[in-house]
Homo-oligomer: A and B are copies of this chain.
Amino acid sequence: MIEFDNVSLTLGSFSLKNISLTINEGDYYFVLGPSGAGKTVILEAIAGLHRPDSGSVLVRGEDLCNKPPEKRKISLVYQDYSLFPHMTVFDNVAFGLKMQKCPKSEIRMKVDDILDRFNISHLRDRHPLTMSGGEQQRVALARSLVVNPKILLLDEPLSALDPLTHEKFIRDLRSLHKEQGLTIVHVSHSRQEALSLANNVAVIIDGRLVQEDTVEGVFNRPSTEEVGRFVGIENIFRGRVNRNDDSLINVDVCGVNISAVGNYPDGTEVNLFIRGEDIMLFQTDGAVTSARNTLEGEITDSFHVGAVVRVNVDCGIPVSVLVTRQSSEEMNLIRGKKVIVRFKATAVHAVPVNMDAAEI
| Residues in A lying within 8 Å of B, measured CB to CB | 34-35, 133, 160, 162-164, 174, 189, 191-192, 195-196, 229-230, 232, 275-278, 303-308, 322, 324-326
Contact status A164-B326, CB under 8 Å: no
- Which B residues are CB-close (under 8 A) to A308? 277, 307-308
With A162-B189, A196-B303, A277-B325 already in contact, 18 other A-B pairs whose C-beta atoms are closer than 8 Å: A35-B160, A35-B162, A162-B230, A163-B189, A163-B230, A164-B229, A164-B230, A191-B306, A195-B305, A196-B304, A275-B307, A276-B307, A277-B307, A277-B324, A277-B326, A306-B306, A307-B322, A308-B308
Question: Taking the nearest CB of chain B, how far is it from the CB of A33, in angstroms?
Answer: 9
* Chain B residue nearest to A307 in the complex (CB): B277
- Which B residues are CB-close (under 8 A) to A133? 35
- Which B residues are CB-close (under 8 A) to A275? 307
- Please report the C-alpha to C-alpha distance between residue A191 and residue B162 in the assembled complex, in whole angstroms: 10
15 A-B pairs with CB atoms under 8 Å apart are: A34-B162, A163-B191, A163-B232, A164-B229, A174-B303, A191-B306, A192-B306, A275-B307, A277-B308, A277-B324, A277-B325, A277-B326, A278-B326, A307-B308, A324-B324
- Which B residues are CB-close (under 8 A) to A174? 303
- Which B residues are CB-close (under 8 A) to A306? 191-192, 195, 306
- Which B residues are CB-close (under 8 A) to A277? 307-308, 324-326
- Please report the C-alpha to C-alpha distance between residue A326 and residue B9 in the assembled complex, in whole angstroms: 43
- Which B residues are CB-close (under 8 A) to A307? 275-277, 308, 322
- Please report the C-alpha to C-alpha distance between residue A34 and residue B161 in the assembled complex, in whole angstroms: 9
- Which B residues are CB-close (under 8 A) to A195? 304-306
- Please report the C-alpha to C-alpha distance between residue A195 and residue B196 in the assembled complex, in whole angstroms: 22
- Which B residues are CB-close (under 8 A) to A324? 277, 324
- Which B residues are CB-close (under 8 A) to A192? 305-306
- Please report the C-alpha to C-alpha distance between residue A14 and residue B133 in the assembled complex, in whole angstroms: 16
- Please report the C-alpha to C-alpha distance between residue A164 and residue B230 in the assembled complex, in whole angstroms: 6
* Chain B residue nearest to A306 in the complex (CB): B192
Question: Taking the nearest CB of chain B, how far is it from the CB of A252, in angstroms?
Answer: 26
- Which B residues are CB-close (under 8 A) to A303? 174, 196
Given the contacts A324-B277, A326-B278, A305 and B196 also touching, CB distance less than 8 Å: yes
What 5 A-B pairs have minimum CB-CB distances, sorted nearest first? Answer: A34-B162, A192-B306, A195-B304, A277-B307, A164-B229
Question: Taking the nearest CB of chain B, how far is it from the CB of A38, in angstroms?
Answer: 14
Question: Taking the nearest CB of chain B, how far is it from the CB of A352, in angstroms?
Answer: 23
- Please report the C-alpha to C-alpha distance between residue A326 and residue B174 in the assembled complex, in whole angstroms: 23
- Which B residues are CB-close (under 8 A) to A278? 326
* Chain B residue nearest to A164 in the complex (CB): B229
* Chain B residue nearest to A192 in the complex (CB): B306
- Please report the C-alpha to C-alpha distance between residue A160 and residue B35 in the assembled complex, in whole angstroms: 8
- Please report the C-alpha to C-alpha distance between residue A229 and residue B165 in the assembled complex, in whole angstroms: 10
- Please report the C-alpha to C-alpha distance between residue A174 and residue B191 in the assembled complex, in whole angstroms: 24
